[in-house]
Amino acid sequence: MNYFNKVFKNQTYLFYICTTSILVIFLLLKDTLSSLSYPIFFAYWLLSLFFFIILFGYRKNKSNYLKRQINSTFLLCLLIYIIITYLLGFSSSFIKITYNLKHIISIVYLVCLIILKELFRYTALSKSLNSYKLFIINFFLFVLYDLTFFSLTTTLNKYNLIALFITSITTELLLTYTSRKYGYVPCLTYCFFVNLLPELIFYPDIGLYLKVIFSVILNSLLFFLISKPYRKSEMERANTYKNNGWMFAEIFLMLFVFVTIILISGKFKYTLSSIASDSMYPELQRGDGIIVKKLTDEEKDNLKVGDVIAFKDGGFIITHRIIEITEEDGKKIYQTKGDNNTSKDVTKKGKDDIIGIVKIKIPYIGYPSVEIAEIKNK
């Protein structure tokens, strides 16, 4: 048995040397291969997985209560992460996705890469005979892959490279540990939210610095939650999933994320915004979230003195009250003022400036985005 294990490890080391060498070649030839990055990496992971299974076999990922609990933990933390990220997007902007054939193809490739990559990670770790050396080698292989993949698909400067390296270290350590202990399902969940979601829908542009901080915090929190020891009774519990409130929490958070994304998108009748100052105190306070009903030109004609509206002013969205309505050249002009301001707004607003009327106030929900915006401005 010892002889078999030794031969197996030697063969596995040789396999890792080959796969690592290929990534190094990709990195050295990045300028030449950049236009074919997705097909190349798709072939790389497909062939790596295929030959590993042929040479060393495949161990089925059997589900149990503990693994489902771990996946629920991942899902809850990732949903909270997405909610916080989108709330912070109020203070910055959102990256809009342009859907064309090229982008759709890249999404398909990315889905395939995520699945193949995580299946390879699980397969390699499940056959590693609890070897920590193979665990470390696997970890560094995926860090190298991250660096190679982004070098071929994006333009990296010094700061982006440092940020990528820090994020990759924490992410791959988390996913490698998770895959080895609990299988590939939590890893697929993580990759969907963190890697795939920004390519599917508009996503907050919170800046490189905050992305790194939030990524490290998320990875550290997940690692802490899943690496704590579990009681033996929990390990031996039946494989039936008992509903203990986690499922309801997941459903609620998923619905909350869905509704939040719809409101923030600005593509529907209602949109979500945040209050950045106390100019409308006491009705609206700094950090409050507001749901604004977007108005058509006909509906704008029905606005009256006293309505609280959201309007565009120099690239910003301002929420003030209408104090006077006049007509100039047959067009309605709206004079606005913040309830807490001593003077009215300098410029009057026309229909084209008005976004909509404030319908609902949600206290404090926009406070994190306002604070982050002020820190960034400073």
Q: Where are the beta strands (DSSP E) in 120-261?
A: 203-204
CB-neighbour burial class of residue 255 (10 A; exposed 0-12, middle 13-18, buried 19+): exposed
Annotation says 63 is catalytic:
no
Task: Given the residues 48, 131, 277, 279, select the one marked as catalytic.
Answer: 277
Distance CA 153, CA 40 (A): 11
* DSSP-assigned beta bridge partners for residue 311: 318, 354
d(CA 284, CA 338): 10
Burial environment of residue 359 by CB neighbours within 10 A (0 to 12, 13 to 18, 19 or more): exposed
Contact 178, 226 (CB under 8 A): yes
Distance CA 340, CA 320 (A): 10
The whole-angstrom separation of Cα 312 and Cα 279 is 16
Question: Cis peptide before 229, with omega less than 30 degrees from 0?
Answer: no
Tell me the backbone φ, ψ of residue 319, rounded to 5 degrees.
-120, 105
The CA-CA-CA angle for residues 84, 362, 347, to 5°, reads 100
CA nearest neighbour of 307 among 354, 266, 269, 365: 354
| Catalytic residue IDs | 277
